[in-house]
Amino acid sequence: MISSSDSGAAASYDVTDKAFTTYDIQACLFDPQRVEYLRSAIFQTVKPGDVVVDAGSGSGLLGMFAAQAGAARVYCLELNPEFIRVIEENAQRNGLESQIIALHGNAAKYDLPEDVDVLISEVISAGFFFEPQLQIVGHLRKFLKPGGAVVPRLMKNYVELINAQNTLYGLRLDFDSRFTELAGDHPLSHPALYLSTGFLDPSDPTVDARVRVTGTSDGNANAVKITYDIEFAEGIWADTPTEFLLNPQIIFLPEPVRVQADQEYEVSLNYLAGDSPLTCKIGVLPASA
C-alpha cells in the first residue's frame, strides 16, 4: 500500500526570499529557553577579535551576544528592511554600535564584505520546512575561514507514523499541516532518523530520504510526524520543544495507511527545504513488499 501527498510539485518561487514578520521575530526574542541555548552556544564559540555574521538577524539579539563575547565585528544580515533600524538602535542603546554592522539582504545570496570566523544562523523548523536554513548556511559557508564554526552546528530530523486528530471545533481539518500536537494524536510507530545535517558540511536543500519505521500498535496512520533535535555547540543539545523552537511538523496523508504492531514500513520523503509541507511527497509501504 502506498500513500503520497498529492501536491508535491517543485516550488515555483524562491523559497529563500522570505522575510519574517514582526510577530515571528518577537516570538523568537521572547522565547527564553531558545535564547539561552543560543546565548550559551555563542559565548562558547565566539572568541575575542572574531568576525561574525548573524544571518537572519531579526532584532539583532544573537549578534549582540556575539559582540558581548568579544567579536571585533558582527554583520547582522536581515531581509526585513524594517528591522535594520531596530538592529542599529538596539546596538546603540547597548553600547555595541562600534562592533555591529546591520546589512539588508537575502542571507542565502548576499556576499559578505569579508570572511568570518563564526556563522550564526537559526532559521529552523522541523524537517527544514518553511525556513531556508540550508540555503543560507550553504551560501554563507563559503565566507567561513578555515577552522571556522557554525551556530547551531548539527540538526537531526526524525519521522514516525501517527493517527492524528483530524477534527477540531466540529470541523474536519486534515488538509494543511500543523505544528501543534493535539490530545487526539496517537503514535503508531517508533520515530526513525531520516536526516542528519552538520552545518559545516555541504548539504543538498532537496531532501530525498527513505527510512524504515516499526509499528508499535495497530491502527490507521493518517499522518507523519516529524521531530528534530539540535546541537547548538559542542555539548549543548536540545530535544524538547520550547515556546518557538523544536515543535513538530504533522503532515496529513491523502489516504490512511493500515499499520500493524511489529511490522516494518518504509517511509519516503521528497521535498525542497524551505518550502511548505504541502509540497512534500510522502510514500508509505510495508518494508516486506
Q: Which residues are catalytic?
A: 122, 131
Q: How far apart are CA 266 and CA 288, in angstroms?
A: 9
- Rounded to whole angstroms, the Cα distance separating 201 from 126 reads 19
End-to-end CA, the chain: 9
212, β-bridge pairs: 266
Secondary structure letter of residue 33 according to DSSP: H
Cell of 170: 466540529
In sequence order, which ranges of the chain are alpha helices (DSSP H)? 22-29, 32-45, 61-68, 82-93, 133-140
The angle subtended at Cα 266 by Cα 263 and Cα 272, nearest 5°, is 150
Nearest Cα to Cα of residue 36 among 238, 221, 218, 194: 238
